[in-house]
Structure 1
Amino acid sequence: MTTFEGSSRGSQGLALHVGASWTQAPYPALVADRAGGVLEVNTAAAALFPAALEGARLDDVVPAWLARAHRRVTSGGDPGGRTVAARGRHGDLTLEAHPTVGDNGDVVWWLVDDTDRLLAETALHDERERTAFLAEASTRLLASLNVDRCMEAVVGIAAEHLADAAVLVAPAAGKRHPVAAAVRGGPVVRTTGRIDPAAVPGLGEALRGFPPVPSRWIDPAALPDWAVPDGLDGPVGSVVVTPLPGHGVPAGALILLRRDEQTAFDTSEEVFARIFAARAGVALSAAHLYTEQASITATLMVELLPPKLGHVHGIEFAGGYRASRDTERVGGDFYDVHPSAAPDEETFAVLGDVCGKGLAAAVLTGKIRNTLQALLPLADDHGRLLKQLNGTLVTDRHARYATLVLASARRTGRTLRLRLTSAGHPRPLIVRHTGRVEEADTSGTLIGALPEVNARTAEVELQPGETCVLYTDGITEARGGPLGEVMFGEERLRAALAECAGMPAEAVVERLQMLASEWVGEGPHDDIAVLAITAPYGARLTAVDGHTPGRYTA
């Protein structure tokens, strides 16, 4: 701390107090007495406060915050008697003043230009806030792959953090544009209608993905009514229009609006709006892509998922399918039933197992099902049909092999006559009304692996209440049980079927599915498919149209 000697004033006093070099110090400095009178001013302080001359009053020549700080220091108002710095504005500068109190009560004020440091701290703080905002916004935007909810999130976040209101204009669907709008603190409103993008400067360009026009080029008073959300009180004072970049194609455009009394968007805010719009565009594009793929998947699922079955010409058909744990929807197991045109003709059914699982296997499943549909005129000769199908698969280098069971069923009076042909597949099991379970005497070569195939067809008769069960090895090879690694096996399957004697086809399938589910529990398993063909009880068919169940009387 500087020690002052005497009470002399003027240039000699300056030298006496702090030395002659003080006048050339790079920092502004001035000396004031207890009463607030200016005693000395160095060159830098004189340039900063031109009116600060010897004898002047601090209140008249320095900012009010510095005069107040001087009174606080000289009156002993600082905590514990310490001299603490003061900070305030002077023009465009932010100054920090550090006091040094002499023995006689005079105070030397050293002033430091703190403007750049504060600007840097403010910029760093703002950047941290913006980074945190963008991270939170990205999380909220990507939280849903629903296009409508994503649009709502975009305008909701923009109205809350970037402007007083926001309007999102999506690319036209036909001649109408989906629009979402929100005012800060209000709900999001979605509409679809015909709009003229040219009515908003830069909107048409933004929807085509061109760079945005500066906000100063847009006259807020010329905005059409649809571009100003209901609930925005007062006139619009500033507008920003920015594109929403997507994956290859624009995802739309975002309009930001501020009220007339608010500060206009500056350049940094426009840049930040574009950064947010880029993330919003990515989220919207992802939602659009997911929606498109989900629609395609749903369309394909109609063809790939097993059909619903019922009664056909006095024959009960029931099927059950459970995809592997790895896919949950589609896989390589399948079944189909193709009703005959007339009751006295054979209804053709097939159950198969394609090598592999998941979507790749499902694609081959679809190909086999479509090929079998085309080969239905050959269904009266199973061997010939299998040779044609095999030729189709062998010549396709992308196809994999498959195993099949073909069944042709026709009711003759009370008896159901079946022709069964296995192509490398587990043999069908016959459940007699006595509970005895028999194996159909059929075998053959799997399909798609060898140039030539051979198959032996078995003919079976079912009496009322008897069932033929076609199944894939997903049920017999399912691992589970008390230890979790034991296969369900054919013996358990036969025992379960023996308990199903006399049951309808649908009940047989439900029973097998329940047992398989209990056996595997939450463990992994392959695709499982079951098809049951039953000769129902009854002697006389009273109504048949090929689609609805017939009614029988004893």
Structure 2
Amino acid sequence: MSLLPGMSPGVVFEGAVPQWLVDAHAARTGVDVVVDRLVSGLVGEQSFEAHPTVRADGSVLWWLVDDTDHRLAREALRTERERTAFLAIASSTLLSSLNVERCTDAIAQLAARHLVDAAVVVAPPGARLLPLSVCLRGGDAVRSHQSVDPADVPGLAEALQGYPPVPSRWIDPARAPAWMVPENFGNVGSIVITPLPGHGEPAGALILLRRANKPAFTEAEEVFIRLFAARAGAALSAARLYAEQSSLSQTLMRDLLPPVLHQVRGVDFAGGYRPSRDHERIGGDFYDIHPATAEGEASLAVLGDVCGRGLEAAVLTGKIRTILQALLPITDDHQRILRLLNGALLNTHHARFATMVMASAAREAGSVRLRVTNAGHPAALVVRQDGTVEEVQSRGMLIGALPEVHSTTAEVRLAPGEFCALYTDGITEARGGPLGNELFGNERLREALGECAAMPSGAVVEHVQMLTSRWLSSGPHDDMALMVIAAPRSRHLSAVDGHTRGRFTA
């Protein structure tokens, strides 16, 4: 009687019990339908299972069994499963993007779609502006920068510094500033502000808003929000770390990439480089031009090959190029440059060696005078106007392996239209062809260069690169570098008319 106070002898059944029990009784005693199934429902705040017993006179006796604890346990289990599934989806979504802005927007959208009515992601403040990403449920995140003071919002300044969040009941929703509330949101009922933990330093803060017509945040919800914030902060911190490393890599890459070559004091230079892995931009092959500072002086061209591939080889490449830059005052003395460079490499922690070829090029009386010194590198090739290919007779020892190095220097003259090709063994040792395992070889390279007689230096590089790419197809290969030093053909500029561009003729 205490459970159903309206139930007493003579009282109509339908008026004294909950509707769910009335419906179950009607289904159990109906003429056409007999239902033997478990029914349950609420009586006040308690949950009961109703079990029918048919008496001899055909009446039904209902036994009510309290299953409130079971119901709460089932609901808690369902809630935990839903939350676990959400955290898995959130982790996958957030970690799939290493772009800071996209990751920030994803955090706001996930929170607004699954947790609250609106979410605001606050990044660590810049000089004077506070970066925000605001998302209303069902909408897209909107980024902005606001000139506001985090200290104006209770708990926000502390969250941005990584301190534990304050309970939502301590935050007065009526004091929420306009920048924090999305347009057309309505009255704010409750607010949660929690830090986004990062790797070593806070990644920002997360502000969650619930409308006034919704229940306030429970303690269990706030605990779950902190779990989500931990994953979101880790993803955002990883995106920022990637952005910083990418920026650093780009900065270093600019110094490690081969330079763009052009004509220097009457001498044409052109170069081409292909790393061993197409997704990389640097490797162990390199070339450089150190232009002459005055008319009549020689420009120094250097092409080399560091033992190994990838980033480690590129680091040593950068060191060699830096040392050569420091040795520019003695560019005329190739032997001394090689000795000093060899000593510097022996004193480093790198257990690698390098081969190199140097060429000093100067314009003299219409031709180009070359002084070529080889340090354990494939011989330079000179292509004459008639297509004849000659090997420059210079030999030497590789650098960075032995205490002393020895080499010889050869002098070559290039008439107008002739050129000298410096290359790395990645070209001649490229494997491919019809069978897929045949070397490109020295003879094919000589033939390819001979076909380029009298061609501009840039065209020579492009021709060789095209042939080697076709030979390799999609097969693996080593780093490949090629530099062409050419004596320009004599030209004069003729104008066609007063409006069109002039053209060069031989």
For the aligned pair, the TM-score class normalised by the smaller chain equals: over 0.9
Equivalence for 1:509: 461
Whole-angstrom CA distance in 2 between matches of 1:397 and 1:254: 47
The answer to whether the 8 A contact 1:404-1:424 is kept is: yes
CA distance in 2, matches of 1:540, 1:444: 41
Residue 85 and residue 393 in structure 1: after superposition, are their counterparts in 2 closer, same or farther (change >3 A)? closer
Please name the residue that 2:159 is paired with: 206
Q: Match for 2:59 among 90, 95, 106?
A: 106
Supply the distance in 1 between the matched residues of 2:491 and 2:171 (Cα, whole angstroms).
84
User: In structure 2, do the counterparts of structure 1 residues 68 and 505 end up closer, same or farther at CA, with 3 Å as the change threshold?
Assistant: closer
1:192 aligns with 2:145: yes
Q: How far apart are the structure 2 equivalents of 1:77 and 1:92?
A: 33
- Contact 1:324-1:331 within 8 A present in 2 as well: yes
User: What CA deviation, in whole Å up to 9, does each residue of 1:157-176 have, x standing for no partner?
Assistant: 11111111111110012222
Aligned positions of 1:258-273 closer than 5 A: 258-273=210-225
1:268 and 1:476 mapped to 2: Cα distance?
68
Contact (CA 8 Å) 2:121, 2:206: kept in 1 or not?
yes
TM-score, structure 1 normalization: 0.87
- For residues 373 and 498 of structure 1, the distance between their equivalents in structure 2, rounded to whole angstroms, comes to 33
Unmatched runs of 5 consecutive residues or more in structure 1: 1-45, 542-550
Cα shift at 1:230: 1.8
- CA shift at 1:433, angstroms? 0.7
Cα deviation, residue 552, structure 1 = 8.3
Paired with 2:450 and 2:144, the residues of 1 have a C-alpha distance of 62
The corresponding residue for 2:499 is none
Determine what percentage of the aligned residue pairs are the same residue: 60
Give how far 1:553 is off. 7.9
> Deviation at 1:330?
0.5
Q: Is the aligned partner of 1:132 residue 2:90?
A: no
Report what 1:78 is aligned to: 33
Q: SS at 1:295's partner residue?
A: helix
Deviation of the 1:108 alpha carbon = 1.6
State TM-score, norm by structure 2.
Answer: 0.95
In structure 2, which of residues 373, 381, 403 is the aligned counterpart of residue 421 of structure 1? Answer: 373
Q: Return the offset for 1:68.
A: 3.8
Give, in whole Å, the separation in 1 of the partners of 2:463 and 2:333: 33
Identify which range, 264-273 or 254-263, moves more after superposition.
264-273
Alpha-carbon distance between aligned partners in 2 of 1:186 and 1:50, rounded to the nearest angstrom: 49
Shift, 1:65, TM fit? 2.7
Residue 172 of structure 2: aligned partner: 219
- Checking the alignment, whether the CA contact within 8 Å between 2:287 and 2:302 is kept in structure 1 is yes
Number of residues of Structure 1 aligned to a counterpart in Structure 2: 498
Residue 326 of structure 1, CA deviation:
6.8
1:192-228 deviations in Å (ceiling 9; x for gaps): 1322111111111111111111111100001111111
Name the CA distance, whole Å, in 2 between partners of 1:378 and 1:399: 27
Looking at structure 2, the residues matched to 222 and 77 of structure 1 have their Cα atoms a distance apart, in angstroms, of: 62
- Identify the match of residue 399 of structure 2 among 447, 456, 477: 447
Cα separation, 2, equivalents of 1:240 and 1:396: 56
CA distance in 1, matches of 2:253, 2:382: 32
CA deviation profile, 1:380-427 (whole Å, cap 9, x unmatched): 110011101111111113252111000000111121110000001001
Q: Does 1:467 align with 2:419?
A: yes
1:433 alignment partner, one of 364, 369, 385: 385
Unpaired stretches in structure 2, ≥5 consecutive residues: 494-502
Distance 2:141 2:279 in 1: 37
Do 1:333 and 1:527's aligned partners in 2 also have CA atoms closer than 8 Å?
Answer: yes
Alpha-carbon distance in structure 2 between the residues aligned to 1:396 and 1:96 = 81
Report if the CA contact (8 A) 2:316-2:350 is conserved.
no
Q: Quick check: 2:418–2:454 contact (8 Å CA) kept in 1?
A: yes
Q: Which has the larger radius of gyration?
A: 1
Cα-to-partner distance string for 1:351-373 (whole Å, 9 max, x where unaligned) = 00011111101110001001001
Q: Within the alignment, does 1:364 sit opposite 2:316 as a pair?
A: yes
* Rounded Cα–Cα distance in structure 1 between residues aligned with 2:139 and 2:66: 44
Letter in structure 2 aligned against 1:442: S
State the secondary structure of the residue aligned to 2:47.
strand
Q: Does 1:526 align with 2:481?
A: no
Alignment of 1:131-530 (within 5 A): 131-232=84-185, 234-325=186-277, 328-398=280-350, 400-530=352-482
Partner of 1:28: none
Q: SS where residue 262 of structure 1 aligns?
A: coil
Find the aligned partners of 1:263 and 1:342 in 2 and give their Cα distance: 81
Q: 1:69 to 1:540 in 2, by over 3 A?
A: closer
Alignment partners' CA distance in 2, 1:83 and 1:471: 89
Superposed displacement of residue 321, structure 1: 0.3
Residue 540 and residue 384 in structure 1: after superposition, are their counterparts in 2 closer, same or farther (change >3 A)? farther
- Structure 1 residues 397 and 87 mapped into 2: Cα distance closer, same or farther (>3 Å)? closer
Alignment check: 8 A CA contact 2:341 2:399 kept:
yes
